[in-house]
Amino acid sequence: MEKRRIGELSVSLVGLGCNNFGIRLDQKRTTEVVNAALDAGIDFFDTADIYGGTHSEEFLGRALAGKRERAIIATKFGLPLDEQRKGASPAYVRRAVEDSLRRLGTDRIDLYQLHRPDPTVPIAETLGALAELVEQGKVREIGASNFSVAQIREAEAAPPPGAPRFISIQNEYSLLERGVEADVLPECAARKIGFLPYFPLASGLLTGKYRAGQAPPEGTRLTEPKSQLRERFLQEGRLARAQQLAAFAEKRSHTLLELSFSWLAARSEVRSIIAGATSAGQVHANVRAIGWHLDADELGEVDRLARG
């Protein structure tokens, strides 16, 4: 498994998103998926306090019991768990990290990420609290998610020289969601900030399971009764582009999944491709999917098809 750098961390190019833990997976199945990931060379596990109503962190911590040294754990804080537990104030940063450490059953978080900007708290105050955690050894590196270029620049200007800074940005990015290419990706490259794409498979649309003109398969994230993503991703135009991309891959004896992963891996700004999995089989498929090294002509054709 190829490794890439996020600050002082060296992480597997394929990561495991843990948002299924505690929702679609119980503890037993979570442990099976985590063990499959470790055996396949994945060492980067990305979770959040809010995933599974805090159960994702708990399940991940139990699954890694006795294997903590083999894992790089990334988690997030800031989205509201309730009226008291939310935001990015220094007081809440200190509370949130202790809660996550306890749930994860560890003495340190490798990458601690602000889940989204908090407009009610100056970013300098949040960074100051995070710097304390780094100094105390509770956190190794810090990052942010869902930040715009303006917010990245504000965060870069806030800490004094030598103080910890955000070394990663985690925003949405896939073949079908390209907004970050206009500004966030170049900004990350210029500032040597690692980029972590979430929804790299467009919430499953780029797995090849969904086809234009066909009923979507049952039992998937986009067909769940409470899914908030169905209308966004299962649009006719997106389905058509996904089908064209699948045909491109199939002509070259590859799958849409392999194209989606390998296309992201071709971007040097991308440090780990974080995708969820609900079985060992999906973990192994994700790892195999980065094996296609697209040449310049292929990348150009994929770009044309993806933009429609």
Instruction: Give the pLDDT confidence score for residue 220 in this predicted structure.
Output: 56
Please name the amino acid found at residue 213: G
Report d(CA 30, CA 27) in Å as an integer. Answer: 5
Q: Which two tokens stand for residue 290?
A: 């980065």
Whether 222 is covered by a domain: the verdict is no
Q: Are 63 and 89 in contact (CB under 8 A)?
A: no
Strand-strand pairing, 109-114 and 72-77: parallel
Instruction: Give the pLDDT confidence score for residue 30 in this predicted structure.
Output: 98
Whether 245 is covered by a domain: the verdict is no
Per-residue pLDDT of the chain (308 residues; tens, 9 = 90+): 999 999 999 999 999 999 999 999 999 999 999 999 999 999 999 999 999 999 999 999 999 999 999 999 999 999 999 989 999 999 999 999 999 999 999 999 999 999 999 999 999 999 999 999 999 999 999 999 999 999 999 999 998 889 999 999 999 999 999 999 999 999 999 999 999 999 999 888 898 776 655 555 565 555 555 555 555 566 667 888 899 999 999 999 999 999 999 999 999 999 999 999 999 999 999 999 999 999 999 999 999 999 87
Instruction: Give the pLDDT confidence score for residue 104 in this predicted structure.
Output: 98
Whether 308 is covered by a domain: the verdict is no
Instruction: Give the pLDDT confidence score for residue 137 in this predicted structure.
Output: 97
Whether 211 is covered by a domain: the verdict is no
Q: Whole domain around residue 189: which residue ranges?
A: 3-204+260-294
Q: Is 78 left (phi over 0), alpha (psi -120 to 50) or beta?
A: left
The neighbour count for residue 94, using CB atoms within 10 Å, is 15
Nearest alpha-carbon partner for 10 in 267, 293, 277, 271: 271
Please name the amino acid found at residue 46: D
Indicate the SS3 state at residue 1.
Answer: coil
Indicate the SS3 state at residue 108.
Answer: coil
Q: Are 266 and 294 in contact (CB under 8 A)?
A: yes
Whether 52 is covered by a domain: the verdict is yes
Report d(CA 160, CA 149) in Å as an integer. Answer: 20
Which backbone phi and psi does 187 adopt, to 5 degrees? -65, -45
Q: Are 143 and 74 in contact (CB under 8 A)?
A: yes
CATH, residue 47: 3.20.20.100
Q: How many helices (H) and strands (E) does the chain have?
A: 11, 10
Whether 224 is covered by a domain: the verdict is no
To the query of whether residue 51 is one of the catalytic residues in this protein, the response is yes
Nearest alpha-carbon partner for 273 in 197, 173, 203, 201: 197
Instruction: Give the pLDDT confidence score for residue 284 in this predicted structure.
Output: 96
Q: Which of 51, 92, 173, 198 is catalytic?
A: 51
In DSSP terms, which residues pair with 112 in a beta bridge? Answer: 75, 142
Whether 228 is covered by a domain: the verdict is no
Indicate the SS3 state at residue 4.
Answer: strand
Whether 246 is covered by a domain: the verdict is no
Nearest alpha-carbon partner for 212 in 188, 184, 238: 238
Task: Give the helix ranges, DSSP H, for the chain.
Answer: 27-39, 55-63, 90-104, 123-136, 149-157, 184-191, 230-233, 236-251, 256-265, 280-288, 296-307
The domain tally of the chain equals 1
Place of tokens 């804080």: 77
The model carries a pTM of 0.91
Report d(CA 132, CA 38) in Å as an integer. Answer: 31
Residue burial 283-297, b: 16+ Cβ < 10 Å; e: rest:
bebbbebbebebeee
Instruction: Give the pLDDT confidence score for residue 102 in this predicted structure.
Output: 98
Instruction: Give the pLDDT confidence score for residue 208 in this predicted structure.
Output: 76
